Structure 1
């Protein structure tokens, strides 16, 4: 179980970092938020992969297609985060 949690965190970090590299502009995110965006993106990528291809993790947990799906999902989550976060305004 501990190995699964560590794997999820590492894959989330890698997916989040690659998403931050791909998406243009400056993102003021901590490492923890990068990991969270990567983890949410991994779940989103897995869900979209299941919807489109009707396959799941029964062939193994760590697959190249799953990592690519995690990165794509993290990019989508980061774009949504930037879009929603950009609407906030601070008034003095």
Structure 2
């Protein structure tokens, strides 16, 4: 994996994590936590969406959208675990 790929993944993860934190009404985890949630959320969405037959497309905007949906799902699951 090249440095540019890693940098793009971190940047997209940060944006997706920040958007997901705003959508989930303050369930963000700070800058580093949001990056982690965004990257892991993109991974989660990458596993779930193909199984459902859902395709977003290519490009940066589609990647951010994809990662944001995954991060929202991840934040929702973390919220359920915290309440239990």
- Structure 2 length-normalised TM: 0.79
Q: Would the aligned equivalents of 2:21 and 2:28 in 1 still touch at CA under 8 Å?
A: no
What root-mean-square deviation, in Å, do the aligned CA atoms of Structure 1 and Structure 2 show? 2.2
In structure 1, list runs of 5 or more residues that go unmatched: 88-92
Partner of 1:69: 66
C-alpha deviation, 1:27, in angstroms: 2.9
Q: 1:51 to 1:65 in 2, by over 3 A?
A: farther
For 1:4 and 1:38, how far apart are their aligned partners in 2? 15
Structure (1 or 2) with the larger CA radius of gyration: 1
State the Cα distance separating 1:32 from its structure 2 match. Answer: 0.8
Aligned to 1:5: 6
Aligned equivalents of 2:17, 2:28: Cα separation in 1: 13
- Distance in 2 (CA, whole Å) between partners of 1:4 and 1:76 is 24
Q: Which runs of 4+ in 1 moved over 6 A?
A: none
Distance 2:71 2:41 in 1: 4
CA shift at 1:80, angstroms? 1.3
What is the CA–CA distance in structure 2 between the aligned matches of 1:63 and 1:73, rounded to whole Å? 15
Compare 10-19 and 26-35 and name the one that shifted more.
26-35
